[in-house]
Structure 1
């Protein structure tokens, strides 16, 4: 029977190099492939595909309608390892870890084009 293996979102960007630098330098991804207006980045089992695109006709940022969720184990430790690289981002681009009513602990980061990246960990009580 066929099996789904992984979801790898396309993230639209205005500058491929700026986004590669952001995801690699600030979020710990590695660029495994780059060609023309496309790059494939990964960190562990998580991967994203960056696609450089022309600006929108309406002037909105390319990431305004984009977001994706990365499930993690050890969210507070992950945040601590990324914290120094996120510290100099403008106010409002990072939301530190907090608990959601749907039993996830999350932190949020806006990338260079406004795509919202959620990091979350299941915090439901274990039997």
Structure 2
């Protein structure tokens, strides 16, 4: 059976320069590639690709129906770094399923969740 090595989200946006700026200046990512219509964002073990929408598919705004969950260490530190710079989806909290997390919206209204296990 083939082994899956990684999952790299490809986010469609009509605003690549603005999205690169949000992820680099606000969230602390690095831009590995920036070309016309395409970019790669990197932070630790996370890689996110940005692309202009496919010309064959209607696109008016992002329509992803889920969220991107980033497991992290020191979620409280990230909360303090991001809470005044981002639009908040929900504030940091402990959840019954054993995670401490919060969620923000990026500049395209994609939901980014950040969480870490609650250790007793």
Q: Which protein is richer in helix relative to its size?
A: 1
Match of 1:102 in 2: 97
- Residue aligned with 2:23, SS: helix
The answer as to whether partners of 1:14 and 1:54 remain within 8 angstroms in 2 is no
Alpha carbon RMSD of aligned pairs, Å? 2.5
Distance 2:66 2:47 in 1: 16
Deviates more, 1:61-70 or 1:112-121: 61-70
Q: Which segments of structure 1 move beyond 3 Å, counting only runs of 4 or more?
A: 1-5, 54-59
**Unaligned 5+ residue runs, structure 2?**
none
**Unaligned 5+ residue runs, structure 1?**
none
Match of 1:113 in 2: 108
- Structure 2 vs 1, CA of residues 23 and 66 (structure 1 numbering), >3 Å: closer, same or farther? farther
Describe how 1:16-95 pairs up with structure 2 within 5 A: 16-53=16-53, 57=58, 59=60, 61-86=61-86, 89=87, 93-95=88-90
